[in-house]
A = this chain, B = another copy of it.
Amino acid sequence: MITVLAVDVGGTNIRLAIVSDKGEILEAVSTPAHFSKRNISAEELLSTLASAFLDFLDNKANVAAIGIGFPGFFLGNSGVLSSSPNLPLLKEVDLGKAFSNTLELPVVVQNDALCAAIGEHRFGAGMGRPNMIHITLGTGIGAGLILNYLPYTGEDGTAMEFGHLCINPDDHARVCGCGNTGCLEAYASASAVVSQFEEKSGIRMEAKEIYQHSLNGNKQAKEILLTAGAYLGAAIAEVVKILDIRYITISGGLSGAWPILYPILMKHLNSRVIPPLKGKITVVRSQLDDNSGLLGAAALAFNINQDFLK
């Protein structure tokens, strides 16, 4: 059986998996991302990742290609990282070529949020949909767009910066990691929920605990999640007004709070879209959850050479 190596490079962990062409994860590991410091150089990054890949690939036959989801902006499908918001030293690095030279396999590298959309479209809740948007509610908020069955990158790889839509233009709005204020990510990412709860209660806990607290009647926890859901709905409405796309999937840690997020999200979404679209937008949870990015990277690896699929 032909397989590929799929890699999901996150802020704290690198996940690696051997994946079949049916999207089955045959074997997987997670290794700490020692490069999760802002001042990593291109050389350090490449050697860290390459050795993680080689350790995992050791003695594995039938791996035909490597697909990598990486947190940064890529020039089309070239594998060239133009920049990465959290790793500012990396500029114009041809990750695809560098890994392919080291590992002697075809390599494809693409934005992590776009990989998640590709995975959800190929193997998850978006299967068969011509158009869809996939949103990841994690440490940050990412999104990817599938347009006429194909991933959409924009002119230079910076499309679907959904987490940085401005949903609160007030001067006193929360500050986002991007430097602006009032971005969706500053309210509705898992880390923003954690920060807001800590600011209000003085207690720092994980987003899933905050969700449990809200279910147990904690008003501060519930208010923060309801605000996150309302802003998410408002932001989706803006994207719908621009693209007229009616199918949205959501994954990531905070999607675990679905029973609280979903009703208020739909209420705000429907109150904001233009009249002919009210009630016509479908928003569903991911079927792949944390694996959408990994499986999207695998799908891209299988696509490098269509012969793999025969």
Contact = CB atoms under 8 A, between A and B. Distances in A.
Interface of A: 73, 82-83, 85, 131, 145, 147, 153-162, 164-169, 178-180, 234, 237-239, 241-246, 271-272, 274-277
Nearest to A72: B276
Nearest to A157: B244
A238 B158 contact: no
Nearest to A156: B244
Contacts of A158: 244, 274, 276-277
Contacts of A272: 166, 180
Given A169-B167, A169-B234, A234-B166, A160 B242 contact: yes
Given A73-B276, A276-B73, A243 B166 contact: no
A83 to B, nearest CB: 5
Contact of A161 (B164, B166, B241): B241
A164 B179 CA distance: 26
A131 B155 contact: yes
B165 A241 contact: yes
A165 B272 CA distance: 9
Contacts of A238: 165-166, 238, 242
B275 A242 contact: no
Nearest to A245: B155
Given A165-B241, A238-B238, 8 more contacts: A82-B276, A159-B242, A161-B242, A162-B241, A165-B242, A166-B237, A166-B272, A169-B234
